[in-house]
Every structure is written in structure tokens, then in C-alpha cells.
Structure 1
Amino acid sequence: MVFQKKKSFFGRLQEKIEDVILMRPEVDEDMLEELEEALITSDIGMDTTEKIIRRLRDDVKRMNIRQPEGVKGQIKNIISELMDKGEAHKLSDKSPLIILVVGVNGSGKTTSIAKIAYRLQKEGKSVLFAAADTFRAAASEQLQIWGERLGVGVIKHKEGADPAAVIFDAVHAAKARETDVLICDTAGRLQNKKNLMAELEKMYRVIEREYPEAERECLLVLDAATGKNAVSQAKEFSQVAQITGIVLTKLDGTAKGGIVITIADMFDIPVKFIGAGEGMEDLEPFDAAEFAASLFE
């Protein structure tokens, strides 16, 4: 799993927790306060950290935990339960499926689209791309390059065209070709939320009218290395789009890892994919239990 591939992925968070536990001969209030500080400085939000520590404090009393090693196991369980959204973590396996992908420029949106397509192809599914980010220079060209590499067709219009018109043509192409999955790249201009919301609503209406039997997903791509900015983006996009899942990218490098926990806790939206690295295999389905376990391996 990608969790084991990068030491820097959750290294800092893991080391901070280990340092606190190893320094204490037994569990006490000072230890819990130091754990709280370690979590906060690892990009876990204040509210989420307080929730974890409150649960931990209750568990320590209820289970009469004295040894620091016991605390480690409880933190793992709490984080796993906090993040686990059950079957919602999985991308719909129904066909036909239409996936709208949203996210700000630079978040790794186009690359994530390619990696998801690669995974779907490995599962034996046919894929088609829609280049509906028509306002960003070279957006459709980037998608075209990935399409050529993967052998995926790309439905596109000229720059500045109506994104809903691209979706219309892409939906009809997907129907005619009996494509399993249509993945639509969309604009990520949060500067004007009203326009973005209207644009996305228009796309939804086109899909509903032209392909009502198709299953739908809307994935938000977030750059984990941006830390708290990723949280604010999740908040903003959840107000303008019907987000069904989050794709967290760039968890190697500067990411502290804790941002994954915060986003999963704050928003009732499951993390569906998680990525560290540039390779096509480096975007994998998210597993809450495996994620929590990786913090202590």
C-alpha cells in the first residue's frame, strides 16, 4: 500500500507520537496534553484533536490503561473509527458511471484523473475523458496528452467554450460507445463561487437529462501539502458541488499527514483515494484501518 512507500508520508506525526509515549513511564495528564500538542502540530485541526484526546481520556479511565503502549493502540482505534465511512470509501463500481472531478489548479487534478483512469482500465473498464475545464489555458491539452498515453478518448471544445456543451457531447459519445466510465475535468475557479456553482449545476442538469440511468460521482482533489488550505478548499467546494469523495494528493514531501484525519472528521465526505508519488500506481483506494495502523509501524 502507498502508506508504506514513503517514510515522510506520516513520518513526522508517527515520530511525535512515539516521542511522547517513550518519554513517559506511565499514562498521566501531562502525557495526554503532550499528545494533544503533537497532534495539533501535525496539521490535525484543533476540534479534531480535542475529539481524539477526549475519547482517549475516557478510554484510559474506562479501561484503566496505565502503560503508554496501551495508549498507542487506543489512538489507532480512535483515528480508524473517526475516518471510517464504510463502503462509501469505494468508488462506485456500477456502469455506466460519470465522474465529475473538481479542485483548484495545481492540486494534481489532471494527473489524478489519469491515475484513476489507469486503475479503472486495469479492472477491465472502458474510459472516456471530457475536457470541461475550458477556461484554463492548456487544460484540455494536458488531458489530451494523458488520453494518448492511456489510449483514452478525449471529448473537447475550443478554449472558452461552454463546459456544459462539452459534457453534453461527452455524454452522447459515452452512450454511443457504451463506455463504462466517463471522467469529466472541470474548472476550479473558487474566486467566483456563484459562477462555479451555476456552471456545475448546468453540468448536472445535462447529465440528468441526457443520461439519467448513469451513476454519478463528484470527486474533490486536494493537495495535502497545502495543509490548512486544503481544509478551506474542502469547505468551499462542498458548498458549490455535490461532493461524494475526496482525492488527497502529494502526501509525500512536505505533507504532515494529519490533514487526512482533519478532513475526514470535519466533512461528511469519505476519502476515496490517497496518493504519494508520481507513478501511476501511487494513487490507491483509501483504507481507514490501514491508514491508522501505518501511524505506528
Structure 2
Amino acid sequence: MLGADIGIDLGTASVLVYVKGKGVVLKEPSVVAFDRDTNKIKAIGEEARLMIGRTPGNIIAVRPLRQGVISDYTVTEKMLKYFIQKAIGKRTFKKPLISVCVPSGVTEVEKKAVEDATYQAGAREVTIIEEPIAAAIGAGIDIFKPCGNMIVDIGGGTTDIAVISLGGTVVSTSVKIAGDDFDEAIVRYMRKKHNLLIGERTAEDIKINIGSAFRRAEPVSMEVRGRNLVSGLPRTVTVTSEETEEALREATAQIVEAIHSVLERTPPELAADIADRGIVLTGGGCLLHGLEELIEDKIGISTMTADDPLTAVAVGTGKFIEYASETRTAKRGLFDK
């Protein structure tokens, strides 16, 4: 392999790697477990995720990315290096071209941190792309047409909302409410309503299995195990989807409010296009049951989820680098003439 073109979706919850010509080759949780005594990394990815909440005192499982930005530079660099090598193998003669996506609201300093970490992890050249643009490309939208497309990318740490036209962002916002906040809301609700202390992995299971943003026609329920805060003993309670809707109401309302604020700032011509074409949802957080219905109900615009919302950003990031290299070749051809 003579240096591959790689697209990386550097997410708060998981990292996805797209390799040109192969598609998404790697999807792992962005979790690193390391020994505090020796400062050595014990596990990265899925192996480390299984350790969350189950480690002895000297081993800690951390997420080096918080709300879409790097919170621990050194650990992020090591994690990136590991994922790049796992995706393309160690036997490469040339360093890869890498495009990485970042939330639309990040500062120049945060962007620079991502760029530096990617260079340190072994990139030949780094392109930074905004998440909504990557999500739109990955969802199959032709972003270079002169018409408005609204994309809502709900990840693990941030929700990026943008109106895209002619290959660029017209209006955008990034709110720090997403999948992780849904989990935290469930943890708080269980503590308040049932006096039950649960971990973030259990909260995620509840969200995936019975979580709802909009009332279901037929409620579903599941048994949840945790620690009773009164007796201090393990206890099992039954939780319904109606309860999760109540628990998540505040977080989902903030996302709807953010969509509303972006629409308010959208030029009228583009707003008309969006009313006609609808809103497209991407990211793992949009898989929450009833989110489409909630947005439609509150905003009044038809809402649909991308075909593969989990990989849309990674695919878009990879395709963006392909587009960039094609443009570069075309420009070179023009100058040669």
C-alpha cells in the first residue's frame, strides 16, 4: 500500500475510519484504559469500553474526547495512532493523507489540536472538515447545488445543525447536547424517581432498547438492575418507554430549540428549499426512537434519517478527501495546459 487516503470521524463516543476504495473499515469506541501507576495504556477501543465502571483503582478507562473536542491530547494521539495502524496496517511505505472532521462550533485552537494530534499519529497531510458538511456528503446529498439542505448531526458529545448550499455552510450552530447527555438524563431520572444508582453503560442500554423522544403507540418496558440508594443493596426495577420520554424531554427540547434558532437565521430562499426538501438526521443520537416525529411535530417540516446515520460522517469525510484530490489533479491539469 503506497499511502492510503483516510477519512476519520473523530467522535466523542466512537471513532470511525474510512479508507479510500474500501469504505468504513473500523468502528471502535473512543475509550482508552491505562494504568495510573505505570502510565501505560492497557486497552483501546471496544476492549477498553468493556472496562468502564469495572476497573480496579489503579486502572482508569477514560474518553480522551469530550463534547467533540480533545480533552486529553497525549491519549488522543496514541489512540489515533493505534486506530490508523489497525485500519491500514503497519506495512505502508508512505504516510497517509488524512481528513478529520470536527464540530462546526470549534475554535481555531481546538482545530489546531486535532490537526497536530493527527500529524503526530502519522499523517502526511491533514485536512479538517466541518461535521455537518461531512454528514451531508455521507448522507448522499449533493452539497454543491445552489439549494438549501438542512442537516442535523447528533453525535455522542455535540449536535451540529447546519444549512448547506453551494458546498459551504450558510448558517450553523453546535450545541453540547447529544447522546452522552441522553445517558446522563436517564441516570439522573433513575436516581430521582426510583432511588436507583445505575452506571453509564446501563443508561445506554435503556436508551437503545426503550428510549423514546416521542410517545410510542404501544409502550415497551425493560428490567433495570442497579444499587438502591436507601438500602445500598442491589435492586431490580421495571422501566417503561414513557418514563424515558419524560427523562429525555429536557435534552430533546434543547435540540429542537437549536433547530428552530438555525431556521430563524436562514435566508428565506433557502428556508423555502428546506420546507420543500425536509430535514436530514445523521449520527448515532438520531437513532433515538421518536426523534423524527418530535422534530416534525414541533418544527412542522418533514424529517428523515439518513440511510446509515452511524457511518454518514466517516463516509462523507473520506469522500471529501477524494473530492479534494480530484480537484487538485484537475487544477494541476489546467496549469499544465
What is the TM-score normalised by the length of structure 2?
A: 0.26
Structure with a larger share of its residues in strand: 2
Whose RCO is larger (CA < 8 A, sep 6+)? Answer: 1
Bigger fraction of residues in helix: 1
TM-score when scaled to structure 1? Answer: 0.29
